Structure 1
Amino acid sequence: MRAIQITEFGGPEVLREAELPEPVAGPGQLLIQVDSAGINYADTHTVENSYLSRSSLPMVPGAEVVGRTPDGRRVVALLSDNGGYAAKAVAHEQLAHDVPDTVTDAQALALVVQGITAWHLLRTSARLAAGETVVVHAAAGGTGSLAVQLAKAYGAGRVIATASTKDKRELALELGADTAIDADPEGLKDRLVEANGGRKVDIVLEMTGGPVFDASLAALAPFGRLVTYGMASRVAATPISAAQLMGRSRSVVGFWLAHCLARPGMYREPMAELLAMVADGRLKPQVGGVYPLAEAARAHQDLRGRQTVGKLVLDVSR
């Protein structure tokens, strides 16, 4: 079968097309004929072996697919062991969800990792209360564009989006953000406070790391929560002492979707809600680009270069 395989760790250049044996489904698993595969920023870390979990070689990247089961069901699935950038993939049955006819492949793929992450950032980690101010960094990205919409749907009093370009900030406003500001770390803390009417903010969803993390923490109000779920800058934040948190009654909460996989309800229940919201138009995933399977390296290059918005998808039929 056609697949994208890596045999060495590195950047986009190590993603190469290959012919590989088809995977075999074991007990409790489904074999899926893949139509489309999703691309996540975490995939770029997996490919260079810089993610929270270690990668092993050789490997077919990709954690999410949409396709058909042998009995004809159209499903979207989260893959616990990668393997998505391929013509066929194997998923655990509990991590596969039937897709409504009114939901496109790309929309479904936007929910598997990024949508469920946004759901848990707001509901599980930040515990958003009605009326609170939420800052969404990278608000035009896959997770950010969904988090903006969900924060408004779940009762946020004010949503402040950050993004690196004017076009991305305009998209965030179209999706429901109350205001959108430049993501440049220089002066970011002051811009966040100004965007909230001179008051510090209640919740920050942060996936950049480095100085963006530092500025976000400084912008938190007492009892504010900063939820960190990535390190896209590949730069570590300044270490935090207990006194810094106690002195301002602030919280820093980490989130990694992998911890939800051992608790099926933490995946299936949010997925069902999100699919229903997309099906009836309450949630609009943004599709930033569809690439042929053979151009997976270009997709990674564009993603790392911050040239994209929303969800990126591989068309496995091309």
Structure 2
Amino acid sequence: MSAMRAIKITEFGGPEVLVLRDVEEPQAPDGTILLDVAAAGVNYADTHQADNSYLAPAELPLVPGGEAVGTTPDGRRVVALLAGGGYAERAIAAPQAMWDIPDGIADGQALSLVLQGTTAWHLLRTSAQLREGETVVVHAAGGGVGTLAVQLAKRFGAGRVIGVASSRGKRELAQRLGADAVVDSGAEDLTAALREANGGRRVDVVLEMVGGSTFAQSLEALAPFGRLVHFGQAARQGAPVVEPGRLMHGSIGVLGFWLVHVLQRPALMRESIDDLVAAVLARELEPIVGGEYPLADARRAHEDLRARRTTGKLVLRP
């Protein structure tokens, strides 16, 4: 068996558990292929996997990484969603979760689209079912999902897009990408700040991935028939319990989103990827690649991500 380098986690914890090691090359079961990895994507979910706080419990030892751009044994350049193992020189990919990349799309752009882009697309289209003219709030508007969601919301006909972010630089980026207004995520009264950013009115759609008080205050900002879509728990604390009567009283809705369920419907996944790729090639969508790190620096990538120092998509290079 040949050896390769990979980030292998042998105990759960913070970024310090991400250690570069020599490991045996994985054996691809029938129906899968071994991909030569050119670039692996880093996602916030990976930080949850490292400390075992993700929706799907992890088992040790593990090589993290849910997405990669690479070359197939027959020479195709593809982007793939993986069951894990992306932080490595080679990874196992399944043909049904693998898509060819056109020449006009760079590795980092492809990685930004395959998970974060499809998430932003389906948050707006499939879950929120955004209607023309509605106001959309995008939390973490400088992040991988957020930078794409701001642009897609405008593309899908939102009347007003409000970007929420933790630093002036990220708020300026959200505005450059099309946000009509921006809000500091550290605002003492987030509900009031969101309403003020919408001219004093309540908002129609909130894309929320923090949990805790951010969830609670975002819910308070919803207009009748408004929808909050919860798709992550960056605060590492659950969302508060929502009383059914309160939903009825405000005619508001709370939805959850996990991309796993889109992957179980290949036609839905294909529709979003085709649209995203076409939009990038037509220069109607700008994927933001925020930083590239050598594979050995995976720990630093996670530290930067958790400290909110990054924008857009983070990429590891084996």
Q: TM-score when scaled to structure 2? A: 0.98
Instruction: Decide which of 56, 60, 65 is 2:59's aligned counterpart.
Output: 56
Deviations 1:91-110 (A, max 9, x none): 11011000011100000000
The 5 Å alignment of 1:147-166 reads 147-166=149-168
Instruction: Decide which of 3, 7, 11 is 1:8's aligned counterpart.
Output: 11
Q: In structure 2, what is the Cα distance between the partners aligned to 1:276 and 1:307?
A: 30
Q: In structure 2, what is the Cα distance between the partners aligned to 1:112 and 1:30?
A: 18
Task: Name the stretch that deviates more: 20-29 or 141-150.
Answer: 20-29
Match of residue 137 from structure 1: 139
Match of residue 260 from structure 2: 258
Displacement of 1:295 in angstroms is 0.3
Deviations 1:38-69 (A, max 9, x none): 00000000111000000001100000000100
The 5 Å alignment of 1:88-167 reads 88-167=90-169
Q: 2:64 is matched by which residue type in structure 1?
A: P
Q: In structure 1, what is the Cα distance between the partners aligned to 2:264 and 2:29?
A: 18
Q: In structure 1, what is the Cα distance between the partners aligned to 2:304 and 2:64?
A: 17
Deviations 1:198-250 (A, max 9, x none): 11000000001111111100000000000000010112222111011010010
Instruction: Decide which of 291, 294, 300 is 2:293's aligned counterpart.
Output: 291
Displacement of 1:26 in angstroms is 2.3
Q: In structure 1, what is the Cα distance between the partners aligned to 2:24 and 2:275?
A: 36
Q: In structure 1, what is the Cα distance between the partners aligned to 2:282 and 2:296?
A: 34
**CA gap 1:28/1:268 in 2 versus in 1, 3 angstroms:** farther
Match of residue 47 from structure 2: 44
Match of residue 29 from structure 1: 32
Displacement of 1:25 in angstroms is 2.1
Q: In structure 1, what is the Cα distance between the partners aligned to 2:271 and 2:22?
A: 36
Identity of aligned residues (%): 60
Displacement of 1:299 in angstroms is 0.3
User: Do structure 1's residue 235 and structure 2's residue 244 form an aligned pair?
Assistant: no
Deviations 1:125-173 (A, max 9, x none): 0000000000001000000000000000000000000111111100000
Match of residue 193 from structure 2: 191
Deviations 1:256-304 (A, max 9, x none): 1111222112222211211121122111011110000000000000000
Deviations 1:171-210 (A, max 9, x none): 0000000011111152110011111111100000000111
Instruction: Identify unmatched segments of 5+ residues in structure 1.
Output: none
Q: In structure 1, what is the Cα distance between the partners aligned to 2:259 and 2:49?
A: 14
Task: Name the stretch that deviates more: 253-262 or 219-228.
Answer: 253-262
RMSD: 0.8
Q: TM-score when scaled to structure 1? A: 0.98
Instruction: Decide which of 254, 266, 280 is 1:278's aligned counterpart.
Output: 280
Match of residue 172 from structure 1: 174
Match of residue 211 from structure 2: 209
Q: In structure 2, what is the Cα distance between the partners aligned to 1:299 and 1:37?
A: 12
Q: 1:165 is matched by which residue type in structure 2?
A: S
Match of residue 218 from structure 1: 220
Match of residue 75 from structure 1: 78
Question: Contact 1:142–1:310 at 8 Å: present in 2 too?
Answer: yes
Question: Contact 1:45–1:51 at 8 Å: present in 2 too?
Answer: yes
Aligned residue pair count: 315
Q: 2:58 is matched by which residue type in structure 1?
A: S
| Runs of 4+ deviating beyond 6 Å | none
Q: In structure 2, what is the Cα distance between the partners aligned to 1:270 and 1:19?
A: 37
Displacement of 1:30 in angstroms is 2.1
Deviations 1:106-133 (A, max 9, x none): 0000011100100110000000000000
Question: Contact 1:185–1:212 at 8 Å: present in 2 too?
Answer: no
Q: 2:94 is matched by which residue type in structure 1?
A: H
Displacement of 1:28 in angstroms is 2.4
Question: Contact 2:187–2:193 at 8 Å: present in 1 too?
Answer: no
